[in-house]
Amino acid sequence: MTDFHTKTFYGNKTSVVISSPSKTVPYIFLSCLHRKEDGSWEKTFEGEGKTVKLSVEEIICILDVLNRKSANWRGYHVFKDRKTEIYVGWEDETRQVLRIKLGNYTKKLRFPNTNLLNLLLEHILAEKIEFATSGTFEVKKGTEIDEEREYGLFTEHITSRDGLTVVETTEYGVSRDTLELQAIIKVESPKALLITMDNGDEFWIPKSTIHSSYDINNKTEKQSFIVDKWIIERNQIIQ
């Protein structure tokens, strides 16, 4: 059994690359590259294109779309000053064209590439569940390792469209930057608070990003929250 996988889905102007550096690490890399004017492709090792690291949970979200159980999945990766929106979803209700978006890069896939992507991700996921979630291991010399190892994953805004769910997740690096905001608690879930601002806007705030005490029983008066800066920027909260 091979230890790594890489597959490029080429297009006329944009290509998307799926790569798994090792079956023993719980993530893959997803890259989008543009063709240059001279006909050559952007190179990731020269810092060109757009590359994100996807966790096992996010692989599952993409597979849910490919298996037509979800209409689309939108993720947000926030680490330090780098913020990237990721989108994987069907272009319309016929679910024949898959659109992949990384920041300003967009790539469309059709049959049979959508089926190949599905089979590849299912195989990689099975490998990682078996080899990357138990025991101890050493990553082979030369394997690319991303230093952004500490992160949290927050799933939110699950709605319905055409009988399918729409899932959004936010993956964020551990940050010490915080900001204070004033808001009223509207709803509590096991992992988050739905808060209401003065202008009536509502936002889900992960409890793990709140660094101050609050009264969950007080749902009529404004309270002060010290929260991670990324969640305020992510939701474009205006105070």
Residue ranges of alpha helices (H) inside 49-112 are 56-66
Q: How far apart are CA 177 and CA 175, in angstroms?
A: 6
Closest by CA position to 153, among listed 167, 168, 171: 171
Question: Considering the entire predicted model, what is its pTM?
Answer: 0.65
b/e sequence 38-55, b meaning 16+ C-beta within 10 Å = eeebbebeeeebbbbbbb
Q: What is the mean pLDDT of residues 217-223?
A: 91
pLDDT one-digit tens code per residue, 58-87: 999 999 999 998 888 888 776 655 678 889
CATH of 5-173, one of 3.40.50.620, 2.30.31.10, 1.20.1050.10, 2.170.190.11: 2.30.31.10
Closest by CA position to 16, among listed 74, 77, 94, 99: 99
Inter-residue contact 28 to 20 (CB < 8 Å): yes
- pLDDT at position 233 is 74
Q: How far apart are CA 49 and CA 28, in angstroms?
A: 16
- pLDDT at position 160 is 40
- pLDDT at position 2 is 65
Joined tokens for residue 58:
């996010």
Cis peptide before 112 (omega within 30 of 0): yes
pLDDT one-digit tens code per residue, 118-167: 999 999 999 999 988 765 444 444 444 333 333 444 444 444 444 555 55
- pLDDT at position 142 is 44
